[in-house]
Amino acid sequence: MNVLTMIRRWLTSGRLLGDVFALAGGTVIAQLFLIAASPFLTRLFKPADFGVLAVFASTLGILGVIVSWRYEFAIPIAKSDEEAANLLVLSLLLVALTSMGVAVAVFFWGEDYAQWSNAPELSSLIWLVPVGLLAFGFFQSINYWHTRKKSFAHIGIAKMLQSAGQVVFQLIAGIGSLGALGLVLGQVLGRVASAAYLVHRLSLDLHLVSIGGIRSVGVRYKKFPLFTAWASLINVIGTQAPVIMFAKLFTTEVAGLFSLTIRILSLPAALIGQAVGQALYPRLAEKAKHSSAPSRMISDAALVLLIIAFPIFVFIGVYGPFLFTLIFGPGWHQSGIYARYLSPWLLLAFISSPLSMFVFVKEQQGLAFIITIYETSIRIGSIWVGSMINSADWAVILYASVGVLISLVYILWVFRMAQVSIYGWVIQHRYYLLSAVSVLLLVLIIASNDTYISMAIGATVLSAHLWLWLHKYKGLLHA
């Protein structure tokens, strides 16, 4: 039995992991479009073109977290379908209003923003920001409605449509030498396609919705716009603003190289981590009603995520430069070096991000907001320090180091809220942790020479390690 078959059987062994697979399955296919197209796109477009796309996407990502003021997060945990329906309508109304406000801002200051970010090519494309924002907001809001209804197949199909639409247009645009315009248009069209599908599949009883109901849920779940929205904004500034800063403080080419690295290393989180978090969220909310500390679920989820993340990020971290050059072309060798720097952080982020959904269940948005302010400040500061010494490499290293620290803090915080002893967790899983350290050292020795044979042996060792521990823990999270 190969590793992929083992993962699939393991994921579908319980109701929770069956939902994870339903979510991840659609996301896997969606990401396969992007993965398959990337080696062609990196040869059709220049790093600077990807830099312009990265500035656009980061701008959209920053605005996207507040487009519905985070009321969509409350939809899965609403006490009744009536509350959930009113939350959905409230979210969609806020999406429309916020997008119109952004359109006005773009009209007056869009060109100035493009010049400020050191991406003048963005001037003629900035009008696409409110269009993409509207589609993004509709997708996010309706996505959480389908999460509540456990209609995970619709979410997966929407993600596939987004990736397919984006990739097809970008490939055509690349052949037609449209440059950054083709990349940006492709991303926006993909988002519009995914949002349109979810709108088409939406089943909502409008009799449940009223002005009074909308006002009531707006007040009942006010912590989401008051704390979660701002915490999310500051958090996403910490993750998205670096791309804009690399463009402004260095060049759009550096921003393009960095953005490709982040996009590739974020794939495991997109494929599995987000699905785990989205499937865990309603179950943790349900369990919290009957127990103040669903410790077993948090403890097991952390181990599952670590087992999956370890071989992926060790492989990328060790073989990054060789791998990126092989797949994306000689012009992207530096992205592989960045991948080596960023892998430890993204391994821990793969674990901390899904677990952080427990923060919303425990309604600890206020403290999360404070932590996020601190996190974003030191993230931004790390890149600024790198620019002061005129080194993009050091900016990336410092940024990754800050990410490691913050991810560890979040994991420890979630463990504490769930009443999971970190010492007890380490002792309980000491044999896995010791084996992981041993495998890491072995792979580092094997990778002393960058060759195809070395990479194949390293991949085999990591895959075998993954298979053995998945087999041992195949009953985990059977829920």
Q: Which DSSP string do the residues of 76-140 spell out, in sequence order?
A: TT-SSHHHHHHHHHHHHHHHHHHHHHHHHHHHHHHHHHHHHTT-GGGGGTTTHHHHHHHHHHHHH
Q: What is the pLDDT of residues 32-90, one digit of tens each?
A: 788 889 999 999 999 999 999 999 999 999 999 999 999 999 999 898 999 999 999 99
Tally Cβ neighbours within 10 Å of residue 179.
Answer: 17
Among 7, 463, 34, which residue's Cα sits nearest to residue 270?
A: 34
- Please report the pLDDT score of residue 477 as a whole number: 47
CA 160 to chain centre: 16
Cβ atoms of 140 and 110 within 8 Å: the answer is no
- Please report the pLDDT score of residue 261 as a whole number: 93
pLDDT tens per residue across all 479 residues of the chain: 444 454 445 444 455 555 555 555 566 677 778 888 999 999 999 999 999 999 999 999 999 999 999 999 999 989 899 999 999 999 999 999 999 999 999 999 999 999 999 999 999 999 999 999 999 999 999 999 988 887 777 888 898 899 999 999 999 999 999 999 999 999 999 999 999 999 999 988 888 999 999 999 999 999 899 888 887 888 788 778 999 999 999 999 999 999 999 988 887 776 666 666 556 555 665 655 555 556 777 788 888 889 888 999 999 999 999 999 999 998 899 999 999 999 999 999 888 877 777 776 666 767 777 777 888 888 889 999 999 999 999 999 999 999 999 899 889 888 888 888 889 999 989 999 999 999 999 999 999 877 889 999 999 999 999 999 888 877 654 54
Q: What is the pLDDT of residues 312-329, one digit of tens each?
A: 999 999 999 999 999 999
- Please report the pLDDT score of residue 7 as a whole number: 43
Write out the DSSP string of 371-440.
HHHHHHHHHHHHHHHHHHTT-HHHHHHHHHHHHHHHHHHHHHHHHHHTT--HHHHHHHTHHHHHHHHHHH
Tokens 């919705």 appear where?
A: 209
Which tokens go with 464? 């075998």
Predicted structure pTM score: 0.78
What sign for the dihedral angle of Cα 406, 408, 411, 414?
Answer: negative
Sorted by where each begins, the domain ranges of the chain are 3-472
Alpha-carbon span 164 to 186, nearest angstrom: 10
**Between the CA atoms of 5, 7, 8 and 11, what dihedral angle is there, to the nearest 10 degrees?**
160
Alpha-carbon span 317 to 453, nearest angstrom: 17
Alpha-carbon span 47 to 328, nearest angstrom: 11
Tally Cβ neighbours within 10 Å of residue 437.
Answer: 10
Tokens 């290293």 appear where?
A: 397
State the distance between the two ends of the chain, measured CA to CA, in whole angstroms.
24
Cβ atoms of 281 and 357 within 8 Å: the answer is yes
Radius of gyration of the chain (CA): 22
- Please report the pLDDT score of residue 335 as a whole number: 94
**Between the CA atoms of 92, 138, 52 and 125, what dihedral angle is there, to the nearest 10 degrees?**
-70
Q: Exposed/middle/buried for 373, CB within 10 Å: 0-12, 13-18, 19+?
A: middle
